[in-house]
């Protein structure tokens, strides 16, 4: 199964952000772990990151033609981007929303996700391991 891992705004600055919230890895280190976990599970993973909302929407549209599962971490767009929500709603495969930090225990504006009713499941507050849990979820769903 091919899996799209779509990371959004500010995820490219992970190494510079609070390690207690975001896990202390760079995006490159996170991507490398995701690729390794994917291989261990027999998944073909493609990791992408952008700070441009329109690009993120385009990647969602494109992934519909090739991905058998999707992992999303839109970053702050999670809380207000109805354009991304509408793009995610079009997926016919399983979609997992992932957040490194526990957004339900942070600032009030972070507690709401416009995506939560259009994704299959959510993995929140488990740091980098949340991506592994999402991959396992997709892997187990294909059998």
pLDDT tens digit sequence for 66-77: 999 999 999 999
Distances from the Cα of 137 to the Cαs of 48, 94, 115, in angstroms? 20, 9, 18
Stated pTM of the model: 0.95
The residue-averaged pLDDT of 76-89 equals 97
Question: Could you give the CA distance from residue 51 to residue 119 in angstroms, rounded to a whole number?
Answer: 21
Dist. CA 91–CA 100, nearest whole Å: 23
pLDDT tens digit sequence for 126-137: 999 999 999 999
Q: Among the options 99, 112, 131, 137, which is catalytic?
A: 99
Give the residue with greater pLDDT, 106 vs 123: 123
> Angle CA(25)–CA(84)–CA(69) in degrees, nearest 5?
65
Tell me, yes or no, if 22 is annotated catalytic: yes
| 99 among known catalytic residues | yes
Contact in structure between 3 and 138 (CB atoms under 8 Å) = yes
Choose the weakest-confidence range: 11-25, 34-48, 122-136: 11-25
């Amino acid at each position: 199964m091919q899996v799209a891992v779509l990371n959004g705004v500010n995820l490219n600055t992970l190494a510079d952000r609070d390690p207690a919230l975001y896990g202390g890895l760079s995006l490159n280190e996170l991507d490398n772990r995701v690729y390794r976990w994917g291989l261990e599970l027999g998944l073909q993973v493609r990791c992408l990151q952008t700070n441009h909302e329109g690009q993120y929407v385009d990647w969602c549209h494109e992934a519909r033609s090739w991905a058998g599962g999707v992992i999303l971490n839109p970053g702050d767009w999670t809380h207000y981007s109805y354009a991304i929500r509408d793009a995610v709603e079009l997926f016919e495969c399983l979609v997992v929303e992932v957040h490194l930090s526990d957004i339900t225990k942070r600032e009030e504006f972070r507690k709401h996700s416009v995506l939560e009713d259009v994704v299959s499941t959510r993995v929140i507050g488990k740091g980098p391991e949340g991506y592994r849990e999402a991959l396992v979820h997709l892997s187990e769903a294909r059998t």
